[in-house]
Structure 1
Amino acid sequence: MQLLRTGAFLRAARSARFAVVQSRTAPSATTYIRTPSRWSSSQVAAEQQQLQQRSFPEQSVAGAKEVDPAKTAESKSDGQPGHQKTIAGAPYVLDNTTNVTDSILNLVGRNLYEHPDHPICITRKLIESCFPQPEYNHFTMSDPVVTVRDNFDVLGFPADHPGRSRTDTYYVNSSHLLRTHTSAHQHAAFQTLGSEERTTGYTICADVYRRDSIDRSHFPVFHQMEGARVWGLDPDIESRYAAQSARTAKMATQLKALPSTSIIVEDNATNFSTDVNPMQPEHDPTEVQLVVSHLKRSLEYLMQQIHNAAQQSIPQSARTPLQVRWVEAYFPFTSPSFELEVLWNGEWLELLGSGVVQQSILNKAGLTRGIGWAWGLGIERFAMLLFGIPDIRLFWSTDKRFLQQFSSGKITKFEPFSKYPPCYKDIAFWINPAPAGASPRGATPWGSAAAAGGDATKASPTETQPAAFHENDIMEVVRDVAGSLAEDVKLVDEFVHPTSGRKSLCYRINYRSLERTLTNEEVNRLHDEVAKRMKAQFGVELR
C-alpha cells in the first residue's frame, strides 16, 4: 500500500535464511511471484511455468494495437500520438496524454531488487525475513505498466488528486501509466488471500516511477515495498458474534507471540476516537486496538532487525540504542493511520506509513469479513541508511567499484571510490503567463512556476488547456538530456519585472558524474541542449 504519498520521498536482519523470490516476466501481464525457500528445483520450475501462464483481467493491455511485439520494436516510436512503444515486451499506442520519455524507459527492466548482490535486493530480502512464510506471500512485480484504474481509481483517488497530474506521473497513454506505487497491485494481492488457508498476509516489491525534483535523495525510478495482514472470520462458525469473539481471541494470542524488542519507543498515536485519526465505524474498538498493536509491534521488530544489521560493522562499544516514535498521519487507504519515525543524527526521520486498511478496499477484494493492517516504505531510504550510500544515483551505477562492494545477505558500509568535481551552470528564462499553478515562493497574477507536488491545471491527464510552468518540467528536461550526470537542480532566483509584471526564474544545475571527471566541452553541450529544449517545449524566453 502506497502509504508514503504525502510524506517526504515517499517515501534487518535474520542472518539465517532469506526468502527467495524467483523472477519471471510475463510480457503482457502482471505476474505475482511466490517461491517458498524450501521448494525443490523441480517444484520451482513447475511454479515458474504456471506463473508464466497466469494473468489478471484488471491488468490487460488496453489501448494497444494487435501487433507482433517483435515488429513493434522496429516501428516508428518518436513519442508522437498514434505511434507505438514496446514496454516490457508489450505494445502500446501513444496519444496526447503520453509524457514518458526514452530516458525513463531505458531504466525499465533493470529490476535491481532481483540481483542478489545489489543493496536494493539485500534490503528487500532483509525486510521480507521479518514477515515469514507461509503466513506471508512475497510478490515481486516486473512489469511497471499498469492501468489508470488500478493505480488510482480502485484505490479511491479523487479525480482532481495531484498524483494523477502529468506533472507528477509518467503516462504511457490515457489508459496506462508507469505505476507510481506498489498499491497498483494491492487489489489482486488481497484477492489471493481469500483463496489460501494458511496465508494471511503479503509483501509486494516493485520499481515505481514519479516525475520529481533532482537531488541526491530523489530519482525518477525508485523501489517500494508494502505489506498487509488480514484476519477473517471462521466460516465454520455460524454465529457472527461467536466468530468475531473467536477472531478477537486469536488476534490477542498472536499479538502475545510476537517477538519483543529492546528499542526505545515513543507512541504519540494512541487515540482513535477523534475526527483527526478515527477508527472506521464498521470496526469493533477492541479489534482495532489489537490490529494496531500487532501492526506497531511487527514494524518495531522490523526496525530492530534493520538497526541490528546496520550496526554489524560498528564496534560493540560504539553501538547506540534505537529510538523510534509513532505519530498520527493521514492516508486515503487506512484509518487510523500512523507514521514511524526514527531518531537519526539528532533528527526525526520519517521511514514508513501504516494503518488499519479501509474496509471498502477489503470489500472490493472479496474480504468482506476481514480486518487488517498495511504499511508502505521506500527501499532506497532504508538501503542508504544501512549501507551508508550518500547519493541515490549510485544504486543505478554499473561501475564495478560500486557493485563489487556488496554481497548477498551481508551489510557492508559503502566505501567511496572517488569524488569528482561538480560543474555548475545557470539557466534563466521568462515564463509565459498561464492559468493557475502555485509558485515555489507564492503565486502571482503574471504566471507562475508550480512547485513539485501537483499542478491543479494538470490534474486531469486529458487536460488541453495550457498549464502554468511547473518545476518538474525543467527537472524532466534536465533528466532527459543529462541523465544521471545531473546531481541536483535548484531554483536560485525568482524575479518579477516591476513594469511588465513578467516573471523570470533562474535554476542552477550541478553536473557531476559519479564515475569520472566531466569536461567543460561535454557540460556545455549538455547545458545548451537543456536550454534548446526548454525553449522548444515550453515556449520560455531565455535570458
Structure 2
Amino acid sequence: MSHLGRAFLAPGTLSTPAGASIQVPCGRTDRTGRTAGQSSGAFHSAMAGAVAASALVALQKLGLRSSSGVQRRAFSAAKSLRHQPLKQRASLTGRMAATVLAPPGELLGVAPDEKYNVPAGVREKLGKDLLLNPKHPLGILWRTVQDYFEEQDPNCKFFDTEKPVVNTVDCFDKLRVPPEHPSRSPSDTYYVNKDYVLRTHTSAHQCQFLSQYPKITSFLCAGDVYRRDEIDASHYPAFHQCEGVRLFDAEKVSREEVLEDLKKTLEGLAAHLFQLKTGEDTMRWLDEYFPFTEPSLELEIFYQDDWMEVLGCGVIHHDVLRNAGLDPAKVHGWAFGLGLERLAMVLFGIPDIRLFWSEDPRFSEQFAPESFAEKTRFKPFSKYPPVLKDISMWIPESFADNDLFEMIRDEGGDQVEKVDLMDDFTHPKTGKRSKMFRVTWRDMSRTLTNEEVNAKHETVLERLVKELEVELR
C-alpha cells in the first residue's frame, strides 16, 4: 500500500506510556454522528501558478495509475533507511533538530524536548482543515466517501477534527509496530518529544474508537498526517488519509463473513468513486502485509488502461482488538485506509500535490461542492521555468536520504518541485560511497532567478557539511 494510502484509524483522551493522560478535543457530533468542526480558513499560501503538461500525462509519468513504483512501497520506511542502524539515524537527526529547528513553547498542548524535529514549514500546515472546506478537492472527496457509507450503514460515525499530535503508544505500539521499526526513526517521523509525534497515519486513533464498542460499531476517520519523505510531485510531508472500521458480534458473524463483507463494501466504494462496475475485469484483490490486520489485502482497479491501487485493508488483528480492551472471541471486524490526495489527483486531474495547499484562485475557483458529480477536471495554467542544481557528495554510513530531503524542504519550501537521485557510486578501493542528487526548483506563481536559488542552494550545501557530515565533491 502506498505511503499516501497507508494505515488504518481514530479522539478523546491520549494515554501516555506512564499512564497519564491529556484531553484531546474530539469535536461535537450531530445526530448522524458526524463530528462538527469549524469551517476551513484560507488555504496555506504555499504557492500559486501551475503546470503546462496535461494532468493525465503528468499522472501517468508519476506512476499514479500503476500499482508499481511509489504505490507499491511497503509499510516500512524509505529504502534508504532500511539498511542503516536505527541508533545512528536517530543520533544524526537529533543533531539536525538541535541545529536548525527552534521549537515553540508547546505544540498543540504538548511540550517539546530534545527529540523535537518539526520544521516551521510543517508546523504551518497544522490547523489548515482542508477536509472541512466543501469547495476544496479534498473536502469534496471526503464528503463523497461519507455519502457512500451513509447509504451503506446509517449507524456509521464520521470524525474529522481529531488532534494530529498523538502519543507513540497509540501511533505505534498498540498497532504492533515494534520499537526498532524504521518507521519510528526521526528520519521518518516528526517528533514533538520522546513520547509524542505528529501522527503518521490516522490509525493512531483506532484503538480509542474501537474501545467504544458497542456504542460505535462502524466509523470513518479522516485527517492530516505527517511523514518525512522524498520530494516530487506526488510526495509531501503533510497529506490526508481516510480510514474506516466495521465491527461484528463474533458469536453471530464468522470471520469468513467479515472478510466477505469487507470485499463487498470496498468494491462498492471503488465503484462509487470511479464509476465502475464490480467484477474480475475491473477489480482485483492482492495479498499484502500490514501489522495491524490479518489477513491483509490490497484492492486494485483497472482504470484508464492500467491497474491502480485504491486502498489497503484487512481483518483487524486480534492483538489490536485486545489493545483496545475488546475480546476477539466476542467481537471482530475489518478496517481499511486510503490516501485522499492520491485519489483526488486521479479523479480531478491534479498533477502536483503542492497544489492542494495553494491559495491561488486560479486553482481554488475551479472547484465546487458539485465537482465530483460534474466530473470537474483541473485546467492547468502557465508553468514557470525550472532552475536545476546538482549536489554531489561522499556520504557517511549514517546518511539517510530523508534527512537531505527535509533540509532542502526547510530551505526551499514549496519552491522545490522534486529531488532526483542521479548517481549512487561506491569506490572499489576505498569503499567510500558517493551520491549525486539533482534538485529542481520551480515556484508555482513566478519565475525564480538564478541568484535567489543560488543563495538557498549554498545554504543547503553548508548545512550538509555541518549537520550531515558529508564531503562535497
TM-score by length of 1: 0.67
**Equivalent residue, structure 2, for 1:161:** 181
The CA distance in 1 between the partners of 2:331 and 2:256, in whole Å, is: 15
For residues 149-189 of structure 1, the C-alpha deviation after alignment (integer angstroms, 9 at most, x for no partner) is 11111111112111111111111111111110001111111
For residues 365-397 of structure 1, the C-alpha deviation after alignment (integer angstroms, 9 at most, x for no partner) is 233211111101111111111111011111011
Q: What is the identity, as a one-letter code, of the residue corresponding to 1:141?
A: T
**Equivalent residue, structure 2, for 1:62:** none
The CA distance in 2 between the partners of 1:152 and 1:44, in whole Å, is: 27
The CA distance in 2 between the partners of 1:210 and 1:141, in whole Å, is: 19
Residues 163-312 of structure 1 mapped to structure 2, 5 A cutoff? 163-194=183-214, 196=215, 199-232=216-249, 244=251, 247-248=252-253, 287-308=254-275
The CA distance in 1 between the partners of 2:321 and 2:249, in whole Å, is: 11
Q: Secondary structure at the match of 2:221?
A: strand
Name whichever of 127-136 and 527-536 sits farther off.
Answer: 127-136
- Whether 2:131 is the aligned partner of 1:107: answer no
Residues 352-371 of structure 1 mapped to structure 2, 5 A cutoff? 352-368=311-327, 369-371=330-332
For residues 408-439 of structure 1, the C-alpha deviation after alignment (integer angstroms, 9 at most, x for no partner) is 2422110112112121110111113x3xxxxx
**Equivalent residue, structure 2, for 1:348:** 307
The CA distance in 1 between the partners of 2:208 and 2:314, in whole Å, is: 19
Q: Secondary structure at the match of 2:354?
A: helix
Q: Is the 8 A contact 1:118 1:406 kept in 2?
A: yes
Note the aligned Cα RMSD (angstroms): 2.7
Q: What is the identity, as a one-letter code, of the residue corresponding to 2:272?
A: Q
Q: CA deviation at 1:202?
A: 0.3
**Equivalent residue, structure 2, for 1:127:** 145
For residues 489-528 of structure 1, the C-alpha deviation after alignment (integer angstroms, 9 at most, x for no partner) is 0110123334433222110001112222211212112211
The CA distance in 1 between the partners of 2:281 and 2:448, in whole Å, is: 41
The CA distance in 2 between the partners of 1:406 and 1:165, in whole Å, is: 38
**Equivalent residue, structure 2, for 1:30:** 24
Q: Is the 8 A contact 1:136 1:202 kept in 2?
A: yes
Q: CA deviation at 1:84?
A: 5.2
Q: CA deviation at 1:219?
A: 0.4
**Equivalent residue, structure 2, for 1:149:** 169
**Equivalent residue, structure 2, for 1:533:** 463
The CA distance in 2 between the partners of 1:499 and 1:44, in whole Å, is: 63
Q: Secondary structure at the match of 1:534?
A: helix
In structure 2, the gaps of 5 or more residues are 7-21, 38-95
Q: Is the 8 A contact 1:179 1:208 kept in 2?
A: yes
The CA distance in 2 between the partners of 1:345 and 1:83, in whole Å, is: 47
Q: CA deviation at 1:91?
A: 4.3
Q: Is the 8 A contact 1:136 1:201 kept in 2?
A: yes
**Equivalent residue, structure 2, for 1:478:** 408
Q: CA deviation at 1:538?
A: 0.8
Displaced runs of 4 or more, over 6 A: 37-40
Larger Cα Rg: Structure 1 or Structure 2? 1
| Percentage of identical aligned residues | 42
Q: What is the identity, as a one-letter code, of the residue corresponding to 1:299?
A: L
**Equivalent residue, structure 2, for 1:254:** none
Q: Is the 8 A contact 1:342 1:350 kept in 2?
A: yes
The CA distance in 1 between the partners of 2:102 and 2:346, in whole Å, is: 43
Q: Is the 8 A contact 2:294 2:315 kept in 1?
A: yes
Q: Secondary structure at the match of 1:122?
A: helix
**Equivalent residue, structure 1, for 2:43:** none
Residues 380-529 of structure 1 mapped to structure 2, 5 A cutoff? 380-411=341-372, 412-432=376-396, 434=397, 468-529=398-459
Q: Is the 8 A contact 1:387 1:413 kept in 2?
A: yes
For residues 227-265 of structure 1, the C-alpha deviation after alignment (integer angstroms, 9 at most, x for no partner) is 0000126xxxxxxxxxx3xx23xxxxxxxxxxxxxxxxx
Q: Is the 8 A contact 1:85 1:91 kept in 2?
A: no
Q: Is the 8 A contact 1:534 1:540 kept in 2?
A: yes
For residues 440-473 of structure 1, the C-alpha deviation after alignment (integer angstroms, 9 at most, x for no partner) is xxxxxxxxxxxxxxxxxxxxxxxxxxxx101111
Q: Secondary structure at the match of 1:416?
A: coil
**Equivalent residue, structure 2, for 1:117:** 135
The CA distance in 2 between the partners of 1:472 and 1:427, in whole Å, is: 15
In structure 1, the gaps of 5 or more residues are 12-27, 46-77, 234-243, 249-286, 312-320, 435-467
Aligned residue pair count: 390
Q: What is the identity, as a one-letter code, of the residue corresponding to 2:351?
A: P
Q: Is the 8 A contact 2:4 2:241 kept in 1?
A: no
- Whether 2:109 is the aligned partner of 1:90: answer yes
